[in-house]
Structure 1
Amino acid sequence: MKRNLKLMFVLLSFSFVIQSQTRIEVRAAKAYKQKNYTEAIEKYNAISTEKQLTSKQLLNLANSYYKIRDYNNAAKGYMSCISNGNTLSLRLPAYNNYLQSLKLSNSDEDSITSVINTISSILSQEVTKRYDFIKEERTKENPFSKTITSYEIKNLDINSKKSDFGVAILPDSTVMFSSSREDKSYNYIYKKIKQPFINIYKAKLKNDNSIDTLTLDKYTKSSMMHTSSPFYDSLYNRFFYTQSHKEKNKLKFKNSKSNFRIVFGFLDANKQLKKVNYYPEKTDGYSYGHPFFDKKTKRLYFTSDMPGGFGGTDIYYILMNKEGFISDPVNLGEKVNSFANEMFPSTFDNRLYFSSDLFIGKGGLDVYSSGIKNNKFEYPLRLNDSINSSADDFDYKIVPQQDQDKQKKRGYISSNRKGGKGSDDIYSFTEYKKIKQVKVSGFILQKIIDSIKIQKTSITIPKATITISKKEGKIIDTIASNKQGKYSIELPIGSDYVFKVDKKGYDGTLDTVNLTNKDDLTPVSKDFHLIKIGPITFEYDDTTITEPAKKLLKLVTDYLKKYPEDKVKLESHADARGRTAYNDTLSIKRAESVKEYLKSEKVNSDRIEIKGFGEQEIKNDCIDGVKCSDKDHKENRKTYFIFIPNDLK
């Protein structure tokens, strides 16, 4: 009898253990289904101490770690699934989570590439093209752009320790944004995920695009619902936002997912909806959110996990006029959507901006831009690394400005990147597009010219004045050569520049630096030679070519004969004695006299330009009213020669 009782006790104990273990498994599965990921992790780990987890349990555990952003353990969990023979149930979203976990836990590139190669055979053609397109944009050697994009990004003072994201701006500078900031006076805590409900708040926008914290107020009424992603339609004065669905004062779930839909209506004077509308009118067990109305195309873009998509959440649009919807929803297609999650659409200047957690990004949600041509969407590009981090970067919106500068764009982005104030923070950004610059440098050297020969030398000329201008004449900068005769300047590519080099005692020179077709940033080396000719001097109130002047003009004609394609510019001056108008005419006559002399020496007139400055550029102190010797006045009665190479004609 005792033996039978003992055996019965052992069997009952074993049965109790089996039943207890079964209850833990049920609790683990229930916690996972209800999104209580912390409890699910606790229960699955407890089960693993007694026996090996099933393939489904391993996957649930890995997904739970991923959901709470413990990416190190998530990556280990997905690896355990694969090691256990479960190839993540051949579900691409699970592989996507695995790849994201590897990236976000700073795994090496080879490990990530190895996983990508593993799933390459089951990727769709469009996803493969997107991956290759992003990879090519990063690695191809010569996609040279003449502009460079940079960003100034600021974390806003309005951010809290909780989640703050999504900005909408109204015409009176009211700012609406989403936040889960905790305030027990009107905020409820959603206990299953230990997060406060999300509500919409309002404040005033400052002139510098920051948000005034002193004007902060709650917009949505207290409720057991999430309310987020506000958007203002400036065309019809409508307001949109996303709201969760509830029944009997509890959030409505289907297939372990909370359901959302879009709320919208016209605004009254108090910024309240005159009549509340919903899209869809009746909840269908799926989610619809992140509304953005493009007033140019009359498209309401939104995010949904409705059936018929490519997996995860997809981006759709539906045509909409003032009265309401006038089409069925249209999926943006596989160039934009994938088996991962695409969300937070916005448009600006014929481009779609959105976020995606597809494995081709840096990690988490990344912001992409897709061109819209003929109502079709191009393969998306990933935005600048200043916009995209290894964390979640989303809700990128460019704010139209009254006088939109094409080289500057302003807007807002939300991110949970390092260095923020809370879970998600709102950042303002200013995007600058600058033309790339290249270094142009060289030496100012002496060129000796006499009646026998023209000789370039290595003798440098310090403190020469270099005036750089566009070919149409706009002066860009004026610099000087240093003590060693060297100059250096950074110039924007995409234009040709005229360099005019002058130095007292030398005749100036003009030459070009061609950067119009420059397709790299290799520094440009360019030397300039100043010629030792002239200027010639005239007697007082006279235009006659003197004998000393003829000797110098012989050098000029020799030079022009040696370089038959070049031109010469004659710049003539007068001293300050006499009337200004008379001196203007006198200087022109002196230039014409030199021109006639050169023509007599067989120099074609179309190679000679003249300009008279009168007394506009006195070289010393001998201006009107100042008594000077004739020798001093003589310094101002000169004609200078500027030689113009053939490519500047």
Structure 2
Amino acid sequence: MFKVKRIFPVLFTFLLGTVVGSAQSKKSKGDDYFFQYEYQRAVTAYEADLAEGTLSMEQYLNLADSYYKTNNFEKASEAYMKLYKQDTLLGNHHFNKMLQSFARTSNKERTEAFLATKSSNFEKEFLQNLEFNTQLLGGTDPSEIMDFQIFNLEGNSPQSDFSPTFYGDKLLFSSARSQDKKRRYVPTGEGYLNIYEGTLQPNGQFSTATAFTGIPTSKYHKATPFYTEKLESVFYVLSNTQNGELSFDENGKNSLAIGMQAKEGPFYLLLKDLSTSFYYPFYDDKDDKLYFSANFEDGYGGTDIYYVHTNRGQIMSAPINLGPRINSPGNEIAPFIFENSFYFSSDVFYGLGGMDIYKSNMEGSGFSIPINLGKGINSSKDDFGFIMRNDGDGLLGYFSSNRSGGKGNDDLYGFKVDEKPGLRTLIVKGKVVKSNKPTEIVGKAAVQLVDTLGNLLAETYSDEDGSYRLEIPWTKHLVLKAVKDRFSETTQQFTEEELEAMEGNSHEIQLAAYDDLVEEREGQTVVKLKDFYFGRGRTQLTQEIKTELDKVVAFVKDFPFVQLRIETYTDSRGGSSTNFRLTQGRSDAIKNYLIHKGVPEANVLYSIGHGENKILNNCTNGVYCLEVLHKRNQRSLIVVLNDNILFN
């Protein structure tokens, strides 16, 4: 059913060693070595079979994985590429391994070429994550990298120590140090995993570790604990057993379950499936969700992060995948939430090493682009199991790594830092609304961030409720642009101080809707204005007229390519020549005001007085009419001459 995937060296080797060995057909000596994690021996055996032409495609994939596990990335990339060209066994997680092999052989061009031809195979969120982190890691100013005080813990052993969790003034963690020297875990030669505790000192260290007695005893694996103060309970993974012995599915597979042990209460087995393994539980006190990693077949890659709704830890829903914003073609593990930031580890190929730690901001039910925490926390090796809490004026945290200089296969590392770790980014978000009707939203508007040279940094479209969100690596100067067909275009420049003030706040973008600002009158498209009237026989602009003309000024500012014609008419009273001169004076007065208020002369092509040449009713010369009927003929129109081609 569910095929087990290696998620990182220690946890895979320890927790999954007995999973697949008995279920494999032994067609090659290389198979024996491969499924016992003796990858160098597997390479030798598989290569011998390859020379004799007896290697199956599945075994060739095992050979590619063996090259990968032994850091022979040149041969791994070639083997994966051959399999890819034959369109055989490569799933998403093997695509990720192939790209990681390319990245580790500095074959950037090959990686980019592959992605360019296969981008349609990936989720758009993954491609956005890729582009963003590539830009972030490639353009990081060394002066902006946080000064971490990272220290190896004195309590580490020569065996594997990993997956820490806070337990009051103590630290719980997983370890392969053995209490029973007679019971050894064959694939590694170390002990079965167990949970240990150490008392934290003021400097963040602990020197002595003892076996944690707050969970039921077992001869098999117990690991990756998480303690929740709200429930006073420890969540952890454990081998599936029955009557004290390992239990297997029909394919001979023993998987991992998640259990919960209350401090002063019973043990609950929460997630169990003999064909699926569950890893790294994390319980969120705020919303009663239990997060974990699992290798379900329908995931986005190898191991994905899921959550279930609970009632004080008791499962109340089916597993829900966090989606392609978090999960990638690689393996995602070790979820942890701190102050609305979601931390996890991933071996996606664009990171700094094998497993890297990422941070994503939680926004409602969604997540921001996960960003690599950068050098310091992350290395060229595996870095995972990140936790953190407030400590005095700063923060104290821990993580696991197999970086060089440690005491064992994986070691626990501590760090102290003044603020939340992670390369700095800038989030610009808010709503797009109509400038003349701010309560009305504008959906599907293109919103862009560009640098001062005009280079596009990021682009998105406002959604159905007008919301938009963009995130880029931190910059000191920025230009924001927004546009939509038949709407105005806005361009705003921001200084460093303005960007600092914008952080965490919503920024409203106002766009003018062209169709709201014009109307059809007398067979022409004109700027929509309230009717206004000059004094009898006068050309002077009243304040009422200026107020309406200011709308024209704003209209031209929003749509700078409009071409206007000013037309003024009067009623039939008075002489024809006098009325012509009067309306021409009024049109000229309107033009002069617009130009004085900043409208370019090039936008006002004509100002024409029509006198009484176009009477709209029966109030012609010699006909008696009420004043209200005469006023219908006293009008000024601002005609948009190029309406039919303005948006072509």
- TM-score normalized by the length of structure 1: 0.56
1:502 corresponds to which residue?
none
Match status 1:154 vs 2:151: yes
Q: Cα offset for 1:167?
A: 1.3
Q: Does 1:347 align with 2:337?
A: yes
* SS of structure 1 residue aligned to 2:60: helix
Shift in Å at residue 140 of structure 1? 6.2
| Native 8 Å contact 2:93 2:330 kept in 1 | yes
Note the aligned Cα RMSD (angstroms).
3.4
| Secondary structure of 1:211 counterpart | coil
Task: Give the C-alpha shift of residue 55 in structure 1.
Answer: 3.1
Q: Give the corresponding residue for 1:131.
A: 130
Q: Using a 3 Å threshold, how does the CA distance of structure 1 residues 414 and 88 change in structure 2: closer, same or farther?
A: farther
Equivalent residues in 2 for 1:374-453 (5 A)? 374-401=364-391, 405=393, 408-433=394-419
CA gap of 1:148–1:138, structure 2 versus 1, over 3 A, is closer
CA distance in 2, matches of 1:517, 1:379: 23
SS at match of 2:315: coil
Amino acid paired to 1:265 = Q
Deviations 1:152-202 (A, max 9, x none): 10010111122110112222x2321101124544x7322245443211111
2:261 matched to which residue of 1? 265
One-letter code of the match for 1:279? L
Q: What residue ranges of structure 2 are gaps of 5+ in the alignment? A: 1-24, 422-474, 477-494, 501-648
Q: CA deviation at 1:381?
A: 0.7
SS of 1:196's partner is coil
SS of the aligned residue for 1:236 comes to coil
Asked which structure has the greater CA Rg, the reply is 1
Question: Hey, what's the Cα distance between the residues in 1 that align with 2:419 and 2:279?
Answer: 32
The answer to whether structure 1 residue 181 and structure 2 residue 177 are counterparts is yes
1:330 alignment partner in structure 2 = 320
Within 2, Cα distance between the matches of 1:24 and 1:286? Answer: 23
Match of 1:167 in 2: 164
Aligned to 1:100: 100
Paired letter, 1:89: L
CA displacement 1:463-497 (0-9 Å, x = unmatched): xxxxxxxxxxxxxxxxxxxxxxxxxxxxxx99xxx
**What residue is the counterpart of 2:78 in the other structure?**
79
When structure 1 is superposed on structure 2, of 342-351 and 255-264 the one drifting more is: 255-264
Change (3 A) 1:226 1:36: farther
Contact 1:366 1:388 survives alignment (8 Å): yes
Please state whether the residue corresponding to 1:293 is helix, strand or coil: strand
Alpha carbons of 1:196 and 1:434: their partners in 2 closer, same or farther (altered >3 Å)?
closer
Q: For 2:330 and 2:389, how far apart are their aligned partners in 1? A: 28
- Any idea what the Cα deviations from partners look like across 1:600-622, whole Å, max 9, x if unmatched? xxxxxxxxxxxxxxxxxxxxxxx
Q: Which position in structure 1 is the counterpart of 2:305? A: 315
| Distance change >3 Å, CA 27–CA 323, structure 1 → 2 | closer
Paired residue total = 402
Letter in 2 for 1:287: S
C-alpha separation in 2, matches of 1:29 and 1:154: 40
| Contact 1:103–1:363 (8 Å) recurs in 2 | no
Q: Indicate the SS of the match to 1:47.
A: helix
Q: Secondary structure, in 3 states, of the residue corresponding to 2:275?
A: coil
CA distance, structure 2, for counterparts of residue 175 and residue 62 of structure 1: 39
1:57 alignment partner AA: Q
Structure 1 window deviating more from structure 2 (230-239 vs 304-313): it is: 304-313
Residue deviations 1:19-64 (CA, integer Å, cap 9, x gap): xxxx973444455456564554343133234336343322111113
Percent identical pairs in the alignment equals 31
The verdict on how the C-alpha distance between 1:139 and 1:169 changes in structure 2, with shifts beyond 3 A counting, is closer
Aligned partners of 1:233 and 1:295 also within 8 Å: yes
The 8 Å contact of residues 241 and 290 in structure 1, kept in 2 or not, is answered as: yes
The TM-score, its normalising length taken from structure 2, stands at: 0.56
CA distance in 2, matches of 1:308, 1:382: 26
Residue identity opposite 1:166 in structure 2: S
Deviations 1:522-542 (A, max 9, x none): xxxxxxxxxxxxxxxxxxxxx
AA aligned to 1:216 is T
What is aligned with 1:453? none
**Contact 1:342–1:355 at 8 Å: present in 2 too?**
yes
User: Which stretch shifts more, 298-307 or 234-243?
Assistant: 298-307
Cα gap change, 1:517 to 1:87, in 2 (>3 Å): same
Instruction: Note if contact 2:343-2:357 (Cα within 8 Å) is conserved in structure 1.
Output: yes
Residues 296, 400 of structure 1: alpha-carbon distance in 2 compared, 3 angstrom cutoff: farther
Counterpart CA distance in 2 for 1:117 and 1:398 is 38
**Selected match of 1:360 from 350, 361, 375:** 350
Matches within 5 A, 1:52-91: 53-66=55-68, 69-72=69-72, 74-83=73-82, 85-86=85-86, 89-91=89-91
SS of corresponding position for 2:327: coil
User: Is the aligned partner of 1:277 residue 2:271?
Assistant: no
Residue type at the aligned position of 1:394 = F
The change in CA–CA distance for 1:99 and 1:161 in structure 2 (over 3 A counts) is farther
Q: Which residue does 1:546 correspond to in 2?
A: none
Structure 1 position 355, deviation (Å): 0.4
Distance of aligned partners of 1:156 and 1:410 in 2 relative to their CA distance in 1, 3 Å threshold: same
Matches of 2:138 and 2:332 in 1, distance apart?
25
Cα contact 2:77–2:102 (8 A) shared by 1? no
Distance 2:156 2:248 in 1: 29
- Say if 1:307 and 1:52 are closer, same or farther in 2 by CA, change over 3 A: closer
Aligned residue number for residue 446 of structure 1? none
Distance 2:297 2:287 in 1: 25
Question: Structure 1 residues 110, 262: closer, same or farther in 2, change over 3 A?
Answer: same
**In the alignment, is the contact (CA less than 8 A) between 2:92 and 2:301 conserved in 1?**
no
- Mapped partners of 1:190, 1:78: distance in 2: 32
* Structure 2 equivalent of residue 48 of structure 1: 50
Please give the residue correspondences for 1:175-254 in structure 2 after superposition, counting only pairs within 5 Å. 175-185=171-181, 188-213=183-208, 216-217=210-211, 219=213, 223-246=218-241, 249-250=245-246, 252=248
- Is the 8 Å Cα contact of residues 279 and 288 (structure 1) preserved in structure 2? no
Q: Measure the CA separation in 2 of the matches of 1:82 and 1:322.
A: 48
What's the CA shift string for 1:347-370, capped at 9, x where partnerless? 011110000111121121111101
